[in-house]
A = this chain, B = another copy of it.
C-alpha cells in the first residue's frame, strides 16, 4: 500500500533545484475509473506499475521491464504522456519528491510525500514553501495531467 500526500509548490526553492534529480518520462497504457497501468523511463531504468484505488491510499504492483519491452509498449501511450524532472530531498524521516513538469505542463511544480502509516500521514506538517494540498484533487493525478493537462492553466 502506498500512503502519500501531494502539494502544489508556488516556486522551486534553490536547495530543491540543487538536490539530486532524475529525468522521467512516463505514459499510461490504460486509465480506468479505479485503476491504471503506467510505464516509466527513469533515466534508463524502466518499470511497469499497476495502481488501483485513489486518494491517500493506493494499491500498487510494479515490475522492472527491459528497454525493448518499454519501447514495444510506448506507442500505446500516445496522448497520455508526462515528462518531468524529479528532485529528491530528504527531510528528517521523510523524503520529498519534487516534480518539475516539462512540455505542455511546464510551470507545474508538485511535491509528493510518502508515509509509512496513516497516522504519520495525518500528523505531517508541510513546510512553509509548500502550497495548497491536492492529494484528493484527481485533476492533479499524473494520469489526469497526462490526458487532460492543467484544466485551469498553469499555476502562479
Contacts and interface: CB of A to CB of B under 8 A. Distances in A.
B76 A72 contact: no
A71 B72 CA distance: 20
* Number of copies of this chain that the complex holds: 2
A45 interface: no
Contact of A61 (B62, B68, B76): B76
B29 A31 contact: no
A140 to B, nearest CB: 19
Interface residues of A, number: 24
Interface stretch (A10-18, A33-41, A131-139, A148-156): A33-41
A22 to B, nearest CB: 22
5 contacts: A29-B35, A60-B76, A62-B72, A63-B68, A65-B65
Interface of A: 29-33, 35-37, 48, 50, 52, 59-65, 68-69, 72-73, 75-76
